[in-house]
Each structure stands twice: as C-alpha cells, then as structure tokens.
Structure 1
Amino acid sequence: MELDVRDKRAIPLIHHPDCAALGYQVIRELGRNREEGRITYLAYDRKSKQQVVIKEFSCPSTTADWSGFQAYEHEAQILQKLNHPRIPRYLNSFATQTAFYLVMEYKKAVPLSSRHRFHPEEIKQIALSILEILVYLQQRIDPIIHRDIKPENILIDEQLNAYLVDFDLARVQGTETTLTSLIAGTPGFMSPEEQLGYPLSLASDLYSLGVTIICLLTNSCSINIDQLINSNGCFNLQKLAPQVNLRFRSWLMGMAAFKWQYRYANAADALAALKPIPTTGTATAMEILVTVMRLKRQTAVLGLAIIAMLAVAGTTLILSQQGGVAQPLQEAKK
C-alpha cells in the first residue's frame, strides 16, 4: 500500500527532524542504527511531489567526531557516480548544526530481513537480481565494492526485484581502506580477507551475498549467522533444507568459500553459472561427483566418502545415456 503523508499511523512529527524549510515533510521513520547514529526516514518532496528517503547521520556523542560526516560525504560521492534502476539515486544533501542528511530516491520495497520463509526458487530470483547490480558495479571503469551486503541492506518489492542500499562503506577497487572503515563492516558477512586486513577483490562482495543467501535458505537471522559456521571457518551447508538441489549448494560453495581463490572470480561469472541451475530436485550422479570435487578442493567435509559412493553407484546410469560423460566432465574441469 502506498504511504500517504497524512497517514495517521505515522509517529508524531515532533520526533522527526524538521526539514520543512528545505521543502521536505518527514512522514515516518524507516529504520535506524543506534550505534552509528544513523536514522532513515520516509519523506515527501514538495517540489517534485514525490516520496523520497532521507538518511540522517549524527554524532553518537557530544564530543567532536568527524566519522559521521565522513560516512555522509563518502556515500554521497559514491551515489552520485551511479545510475542503475535498482540502486536508489542520489537527489540532494544538506547539513544542520547537529546532523548531515542525504536525500535519495524512494523505492516501494521492504528490507529483505523483514520477510521470512522464502521458497528456494524465490531466493534464486533475489540472488540473480542482486548479481545483476553487482555486475554493473564491477564492470565500471572504476569498479565499486559495496563491502556491506546483508539482508538489512537489500530491499525487495512485490515482484522480488532486489535493490541494493547503504553505500557508506563502499569504495572503489584498489583504493586504501582506513582502519575505521575496515572494522565497520558486519561480522559474519564480511569476507575473510577483509577481516584479516588483506586486499579486497571482486569476489569479496560475492562472499557477503553468498552468506545472505545462506541466511534465506536456512531462515536464519543475521545476528545468528555465526551458528552456521564450523570450526574451520566454513559454512555447514548440511543445514540447508533437503529439497535444495545439490548443484545450487555447489554454486553456494563457489560464493561463500573461505578462500577467495575458490569463489567465482566476479559477479558476471557467478550470474552465468546460477541461471541454468535448478533450486530443488534430486541431483544426478555426475552432479554429485562435481560437488565432491569442489568440496575436496575447499575443505575436508564429514560424509564425503558417502557422497562419493553415491556418485560411483550412479555412474552406470550416466554411461548408458547418449553422449556418455563427456559434457559433464568438461563442466567438472571448469
């Protein structure tokens, strides 16, 4: 339902910043990050007669702290470079004596974290949608790494189109990352190389997206994501619903692998690999074998011998099919 500036359910305006002099009427709060002093509001732009989003950056304490200003300025600079239908556009920015404000395009969508119980096919659709955005970011002349992909920073509309928001931690690939920025990511979603202070790559955002998809497939909250990680720092995909296709699981391994060398190199490769993959159904013996090969490269996994035996048992069926195993083996070599 479209929000109305006269919505009586809105919090009284006294609790909102007064932006009337700048032509904005705040409607209600959309969300907040208390620790970092950031609040997002839905507002009405009297000039364009459109709803907009206003993001407020304020200092969490009374002492002088320029981190809020730096995040505000950085996100404004990043957004002004971008032009994608599923990244809310930068519209305006202004400052008061107590806070800084970014005005962005409003999308009629809700945070991914606010909805639960997605079907695997719906999760695939969301993953494809985000990967398309990442392809755009990565194929720019100056590729941009988002660095904070998680359910809270992804919006979805009624058609499951995904929108990527919150670019305050984003940076151009190859630029230096300050220590303050380095430790500001979300634990569990940050790529291992970022947590260890190593250089980031186009595969770093893929890790965060892979973790997000695992959250959806296991119906887990972001704060509980560490419960799905084993002692080796790898995700235990055995907790996924049994109907999730093994090829989809294997694709996830190529997204959320602990070592970046075992992930897809970039979003374009991950997108192309995901498109033909079914999300549910029984895997063939050769698909099981390919998954085993990926597992062996990444980490020692309990139950590997059982999976291998299943692959051997099904080999006879593969050999009886026209074309034999030539094509699957070519895929395995990739």
Structure 2
Amino acid sequence: MELDVRNEHKGIIPLSHHPDFSQQGYQVISELGRNREGGRITYLANVLNSNEQVVIKEFCFAHASADLSGIKTYEREIEILQQLNHSRIPRYVDSFEIPGVFYMVQEYKNAPSLGIRRSFHPEEIKQIALSILEILVYLQKQVPSIIHRDIKPENILVDEKLNAYLVDFGLARIQGAKIALSSFVAGTPGFMPPEEQFGHPLTEASDLYSLGATLICLLTNTRSAEIGKLIDDNYRFNFQKLVPQISPHFRLWLMRMVERNRKRRYANASFALKTLQRIQVVGTATEIDTLVTTIKPRKRATVLALTTVLTLAAIGATLMSCQPGDTVRQLLEATECQGFDFSSSCQEKTRR
C-alpha cells in the first residue's frame, strides 16, 4: 500500500481541486499522496473552527478491483485503530461515507515518511529502530497481539528528533486470525517475511523481518523499489560490504532480524529491543568478531564453543568455575544464538 508517495505538485493545490468536506467539519489543505491502483488518496485537512489538523484517507472502491474485500480492509483498519492508544500511532478520529467512497480521519503527525530519501548516521538508524520496536512491543502486548504486516520505509514517519511513527494499518491482523488466501501476498515484496509469502502462520517475529529489511534499506541508502538489489540468489540479504562502518554486533543483530527461518529470528519485539539497546552500532571488529561474521550460520555454534573453551583455558584454571569473562559474555550476547540449532533454552540464557 503506497500511501506516502509524494505528489508532483509544489505548494498547496487550489482548493477547488479538493473534495468539499465542509459538511463533515473539515477543510482540505493539500494532497499528501495517492495510490491510484488501490483507489487510495490521503489529504491534509483542517478541522473547522479549531487549530487541529488531520489526515483524511479516501478509499474509492468504485475505481478499484477490490470492492467487498476493500471495504472489509477499511473496516478492519478502523476496528484495529480504535483499540490502540499509543503516542506514536496516529489515533483514529472519525469516518464518514459518500456514495461509493469511504473516508477515515486520523491524527496528523508533522513528520515525513522514510520513503523520502534521506541519509542517516548508523547511530540515528539505531534510534529509529528502537523507536519502532517500542511501538511493536506495545502492539504485541495487546490481547491478542497485533501484527502490522506492512512495515516498510513508506509506512514509517520520522520527525526531527528521530521519533518514529507507524502508520497504515490496512493489512494489520490480530495474531491467530484467519487470513483469506487472496491476502497472503498483500504486503510489499522484499519486506514480506517468507512465512507470509508461503501462507505459514504469522508470529510476533514476522514484523521483525520487515523492520530489519527497512533498516537495511536505510543503512545502504536503498529505495524500497530497489530492495531486490540487496537480496542474493539464495533470497538472503547481502549488505555487509555496503556498510563496513557498522559494528559486527550490529550486523549480526540485523542478520538475525532478517533470518528467513522465523524460528531463528528474535522471538518478539521486546527481546530484539533489549538486545539492540546494549549494542554499539559503530566500531571495529576483533579477530573473533570477524571470524564469527564470515563463517556460515550453522557452524557458528561450533566455533563459538571452541573459542569459549580456548579463552577459558588461557585465563587459567582458577577461572574455570567462574562465569565467562566480559569478552566471552559480550561475544555470546552479540551473537544471541544467531543461526544456531540450539534448544529454546539458549534464548533464555542470553536474556540474563
């Protein structure tokens, strides 16, 4: 759903070119974006007799192929937004209908989408990641949890203070809810997790894949439409050479976010958030770091195990009974069982 594509108009479009919503209590200021194929247009509007600004989203099903399914999407988005109360999810305000056209009114956030090309330092990208993960933690704490299903640069707004806002819940689903076959591939190619593409159940790790892909696009300054350039013949992200300045720990964190096997990703947003908080995103690699990032995922467990044994032996027998030293602990925490065939107890140990 490309709702944040900027139009080609410069300045405010003459009022006569906009719909008249005065009877509904709104006056359109400008068009923010449109998706002609999906019959979606978004407008910035003033609330009459107040200083409040809102976003009005138009769903024109008369010109789209989706009629009934489109109406259900509209209704589902409203239903989900009405349940949410988070400062960085634009709140639902109102909805109304004109024959053949539905409109939804939301709170306006004065922040451009990441779909507009901007350059960020890796530290800033970490801040954006933490901000979105906080929103996902909130969504996953709902009962039942909510899966956004369409996280990508165009659906994330970021203000000057690097506060991130998550928009467009048109594809969002309550975890465990049945999804029609026609909606399996309704997300955005390159950002959809593999389980979405093949019709497998979605989990709290599904949105993490999409967020990881978004962050990799930001790090490499890659547009959403060109994300395919970052994916190799094995359908895995291959971006390491494009961002040599990021630390091995941050690189491993990103690689785990976009693991094709959802069971090898972080289990949920809370775990991914806590792990990222203690990671330094820019830094040089130690010899052990370099080794871990270059070997195949399935062999990392063996190498790390051998590294741990050798390190402990070098420290001395007196430390054998103690907890692993800082170097070993940091290494184990950084890898977070990335790609290992360990049991579920591995994640529990790395949480400590």
TM category, shorter: 0.7 to 0.9
CA distance in 1, matches of 2:326, 2:17: 69
Q: Corresponding residue for 1:265?
A: 267
CA distance in 2, matches of 1:17, 1:256: 42
Contact 1:59-1:68 within 8 A present in 2 as well: yes
Q: Corresponding residue for 1:281?
A: 283
Q: Corresponding residue for 2:36?
A: 34
Shift of 1:237: 2.5
Q: Corresponding residue for 1:15?
A: 17
Q: Corresponding residue for 1:296?
A: 297
The 1:108/1:319 distance shift into structure 2, 3 A limit, reads: farther
Contact 1:286-1:328 within 8 A present in 2 as well: no
Number of matched residues?
A: 314
The 1:153/1:326 distance shift into structure 2, 3 A limit, reads: closer
Q: Corresponding residue for 2:115?
A: 113
CA distance in 2, matches of 1:247, 1:87: 30
Shift of 1:296: 1.9
State how 1:73-92 maps to structure 2 within 5 Å.
73-92=75-94
Shift of 1:68: 2.6
Percent identity at matched positions? 58
Match of 2:199 among 184, 197, 200: 197
Shift of 1:227: 1.2
Shift of 1:203: 0.4
Shift of 1:285: 3.2
Shift of 1:324: 7.1
Shift of 1:114: 0.9
The 1:15/1:233 distance shift into structure 2, 3 A limit, reads: same
Q: Deviations over 1:247-281 (max 9, x none)?
A: 11100011001110110000000000101111111
CA distance in 1, matches of 2:331, 2:252: 15
Shift of 1:179: 2.2
Shift of 1:72: 1.3
Q: Corresponding residue for 2:4?
A: none
CA distance in 1, matches of 2:183, 2:21: 29
Partner of 2:115, secondary structure, is: helix
RMSD, aligned α-carbons: 2.6
Q: Corresponding residue for 1:97?
A: 99
Shift of 1:32: 1.1
Shift of 1:292: 5.2
Q: Deviations over 1:18-42 (max 9, x none)?
A: 1011110000011111111101110
CA distance in 2, matches of 1:137, 1:91: 19
Shift of 1:62: 7.5
Partner of 2:12, secondary structure, is: coil
Q: Corresponding residue for 1:56?
A: 58
CA distance in 1, matches of 2:63, 2:70: 11
Structure 2 counterpart of 1:71, which letter?
Answer: T
Contact 1:36-1:60 within 8 A present in 2 as well: no
CA distance in 2, matches of 1:89, 1:181: 25
Superposition TM-score, scaled by structure 2 size: 0.83
Structure 2 counterpart of 1:174, which letter?
Answer: G
CA distance in 1, matches of 2:259, 2:25: 48
Q: Which runs of 5+ in 2 are unaligned?
A: 1-9, 320-324, 336-345
CA distance in 2, matches of 1:106, 1:326: 47
Shift of 1:47: 4.5
Q: Corresponding residue for 1:152?
A: 154
Contact 2:13-2:30 within 8 A present in 1 as well: yes
State how 1:157-168 maps to structure 2 within 5 Å.
157-168=159-170
The 1:83/1:17 distance shift into structure 2, 3 A limit, reads: same
Shift of 1:67: 2.8
Shift of 1:290: 4.7
Structure 2 counterpart of 1:11, which letter?
Answer: I
CA distance in 1, matches of 2:176, 2:49: 39
Superposition TM-score, scaled by structure 1 size: 0.87
Partner of 1:254, secondary structure, is: helix
Q: Deviations over 1:180-226 (max 9, x none)?
A: 32222111111100000111000000000000001001110001111
Structure 1 counterpart of 2:143, which letter?
Answer: I
Structure 2 counterpart of 1:16, which letter?
Answer: H
CA distance in 1, matches of 2:100, 2:14: 21
Q: Which runs of 5+ in 1 are unaligned?
A: 1-7
Q: Corresponding residue for 1:227?
A: 229
